């Protein structure tokens, strides 16, 4: 008998073969020309447009929407790419409901914003099928090492290459893209878009990527500082926080980011094993993505458990609703106390949380959820690139401390941006903005040196 959603254990192929393509289809399908014109017509082209202020990359949104209205989507794309070279990815993955679309005056007036994200995708898609639109300035003879080929590193590398500098990117993984390639949910960026975008971006030339080169293991920061005129660090958050409770080392308990990376690297989701009863611990974007994708792979029950109240979740209302419409149950105000099972996970015991001074503690009221798979999504942290105190970079807590333009201390000519820094929200668009701004600062510094 064929396996179904009800079959116990962690198995592949719970769904009929054609269900997977439908489940992992584009979350926000592209607009056609007519739909784009209608959506663009809703914009008031506000003078002091609040949507621009809400965009971390400061894209001139009314301008690009007007360019779509006047039938010049290629110009609209250039307006976007001038500020955000990963505008294609951001059009797909930005939580617009908490950024530009939340600020849109039509959201305040009617509860229905201009569809800025989908219009951005319409514009950027028109140019990404064509040759790369930027050329390089005359070579400056300066070289910059970029650590990490995620959104921050790629945005920095592209801007530096445009300005005529030679760029070498050191990337620990076998592919570029960072979490665009290994983390973002499959249904937000289907059809290999992350790699297509990297190829398009690199076709500016002047950027060499050295994959499988982990700084701190294969090459030191000190060597990069010596061999290059400047260094940019965009290493993201490589470590996941531990679930420090009894039984958390049982087989079947794993990091949600590893689960998502496996899914993103798979050519066929039907081959991916998934539990019948999946429990996801956490309340952020990673938790929602892991929970929704577990359901889409055919898990019978998926329960997301978060320790505080729903309003304090990092996942936006849109994402929480996405989880719920996909059949994910969300339980708030509860903390895990024990994972149980004979040879692998069978259940998780939770306690309703009680406030104790400033901290949350497990209270006396308990409940147990059956689970054959448990996904931890309780936060990530940076893995420092050096253990050498002489080479260390000042931190704000667990993240890198940066000043204006992404300058780090105490070494000159070392800059940083993206998730590994203590500033800004951990979003693709913020990483792009910080990478771009650091590139401008590096350029000004190197050119000022004469």
Ligand X SMILES: Cc1cc2nc3c(=O)[nH]c(=O)nc-3n(C[C@H](O)[C@H](O)[C@H](O)COP(=O)(O)OP(=O)(O)OC[C@H]3O[C@@H](n4cnc5c(N)ncnc54)[C@H](O)[C@@H]3O)c2cc1C
- Span near ligand X by CB under 6 A; candidates 80-88, 93-101, 298-306, 340-348: 93-101
Q: How far apart are CA 431 and CA 155, in angstroms?
A: 8
| Alpha-carbon span 203 to 197, nearest angstrom | 10
Nearest approach, Cβ of residue 214 and ligand X (Å): 4
Is the Cβ of residue 53 or residue 203 nearer to ligand SF4 in the bound state? 53
Residues 207-226: x where in contact with ligand X by CB under 6 A, - otherwise, as a string: -------xxx----------
CA atoms in the 13 A half-sphere facing the CB of 40: 26
Decide: is 44 part of the binding site for ligand SF4 (CB under 6 A).
Answer: yes
Q: Which two tokens stand for residue 205?
A: 């030339």
Helix, strand or coil, per DSSP, at residue 365: strand
Shorter beta-carbon distance to ligand X: residue 52 or 353: 52
Selected from 39, 43, 256, 335, the binder of ligand SF4 by CB under 6 A is 43
- Contact status: 50 vs ligand SF4 (CB under 6 A): yes
- Rounded to the nearest 10°, the torsion over CA 423, 333, 342, 291 is -60
Binding mask 62-101 for ligand SF4 (x = CB under 6 A): x---------------------------------------
Task: Name residues contacting ligand X, limited to 367-386 (CB under 6 A).
Answer: 385
Could you say which of 21, 45, 223, 273 contacts ligand SF4 (CB under 6 A)?
45
Which x/- pattern over 18-57 shows residues binding ligand X (rule: CB under 6 A)?
----------------------------------------
Q: Where are any strands of DSSP class E within 211-265? A: 230-233, 239-240, 253-255
| Cα angle 219-223-227, degrees, rounded to a multiple of 5 | 125
Residue window 286-315: x/- pattern of binding to ligand X, with contact defined by CB under 6 A: x--x--------------------------
- CB nearer ligand SF4, residue 116 or residue 167: 116
Among 31, 427, 438, 446, binds ligand X (CB under 6 A): 427
Rule CB under 6 A: choose which of 55, 144, 257, 263 binds ligand X.
Answer: 257
Please report, for residues 93, 289, 349, 413, the alpha-carbon distance to residue 233 in angstroms, rounded to integers and kept in the order given.
Answer: 23, 27, 40, 11
> Considering the rule CB under 6 A, would residue 428 count as an interface residue with ligand X?
yes
Q: Are 377 and 256 within 8 A, CB to CB?
A: yes
Which position among 28, 132, 136, 188 is part of the footprint of ligand X (CB under 6 A)? 188
For the chain, what is the radius of gyration of the CA atoms? Answer: 23
Beta bridge partners of 334: 352
Copy the structure tokens of residue 241. 């926080």
Q: Residue 308 pairs with which residues in a beta bridge?
A: none
Residue 166 CB, nearest approach to ligand X (Å): 18
Cα–Cα distance for residue pair 190/293, rounded to 1 Å: 13
Cβ neighbours around 28 below 10 Å, total: 15
Which of 418, 434, 423, 415 shows the shortest CA–CA distance to 396? 423
**Binder among 62, 88, 148, 166 for ligand X (CB under 6 A):** 148
Mark the segment that binds ligand X (CB under 6 A) among 7-15, 17-25, 284-292, 302-310. 284-292
What is the x/- site pattern for ligand SF4, positions 112-151, by CB under 6 A?
Answer: --x-x-----------------------------------
CA separation for the pair 353, 339 (Å, rounded): 17
DSSP assignment letter at 226: H
205 Cβ contact partners less than 8 Å away, ≥ 6 residues apart: 136, 161
Contacting positions for ligand SF4 (CB under 6 A): 43-46, 49-51, 61-62, 104-106, 114, 116
Contacting positions for ligand X (CB under 6 A): 93-95, 147-153, 170-173, 178-179, 183-184, 188, 214-216, 234-236, 238, 257, 260, 285-286, 289, 385, 418-420, 426-429, 431
């Amino acid at each position: 008998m064929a396996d179904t959603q009800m079959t116990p254990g962690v198995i592949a192929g719970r769904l009929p073969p054609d269900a997977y393509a439908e489940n992992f289809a584009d979350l926000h399908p592209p607009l056609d020309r007519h739909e784009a014109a209608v959506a663009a017509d809703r914009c008031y082209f506000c003078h002091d447009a609040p949507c621009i202020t809400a965009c971390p990359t400061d894209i001139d949104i009314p301008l690009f929407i007007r360019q779509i209205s006047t039938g010049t989507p290629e110009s609209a794309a250039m307006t976007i790419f001038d500020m955000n070279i990963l505008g294609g990815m951001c059009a797909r993955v930005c939580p617009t409901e908490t950024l530009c679309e939340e600020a849109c005056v039509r959201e305040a007036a009617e509860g229905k914003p201009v569809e800025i994200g989908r219009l951005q995708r319409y514009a950027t898609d028109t140019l990404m099928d064509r040759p790369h639109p930027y050329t390089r300035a005359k070579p400056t003879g300066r070289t910059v090492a970029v650590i990490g080929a995620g959104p921050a590193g790629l945005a920095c590398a592209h801007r530096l290459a445009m300005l005529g500098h030679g760029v070498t990117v050191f990337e620990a993984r076998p592919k570029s893209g960072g979490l665009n390639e290994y983390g973002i949910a499959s249904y937000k960026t289907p059809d290999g878009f992350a790699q297509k975008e990297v190829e398009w971006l690199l076709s500016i030339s002047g950027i060499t990527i050295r994959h499988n080169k982990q700084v701190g293991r294969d090459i030191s920061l000190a060597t990069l500082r010596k061999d290059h005129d400047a260094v940019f660090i965009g290493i993201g958050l490589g470590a996941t926080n531990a679930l420090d409770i009894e039984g958390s080392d049982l087989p079947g308990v794993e990091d949600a980011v590893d689960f998502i990376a496996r899914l993103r690297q798979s050519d066929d989701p039907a081959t991916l094993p998934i539990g019948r009863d999946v429990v996801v611990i956490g309340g952020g974007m990673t938790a929602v993505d892991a929970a929704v994708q577990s359901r889409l792979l055919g898990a019978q029950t998926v329960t997301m458990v978060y320790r505080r109240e729903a309003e304090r979740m990092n996942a936006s209302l849109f994402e929480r609703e996405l989880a719920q419409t996909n059949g994910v149950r969300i339980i708030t105000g509860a903390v895990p106390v024990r994972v149980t099972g004979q040879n692998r996970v069978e259940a998780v015991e939770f306690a309703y949380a009680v406030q104790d001074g400033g901290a949350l503690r497990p209270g006396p009221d308990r409940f147990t959820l059956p689970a054959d798979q448990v996904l931890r999504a309780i936060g990530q942290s940076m893995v420092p690139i050096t253990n050498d105190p002489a080479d260390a970079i000042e931190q704000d807590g667990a993240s890198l401390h940066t000043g204006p333009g992404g300058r780090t201390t105490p070494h000159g000519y070392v800059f940083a941006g993206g998730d590994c820094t203590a500033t800004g929200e951990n979003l693709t668009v913020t990483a792009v903005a910080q990478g771009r701004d650091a590139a401008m600062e590096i350029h000004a510094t190197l050119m000022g040196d004469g």
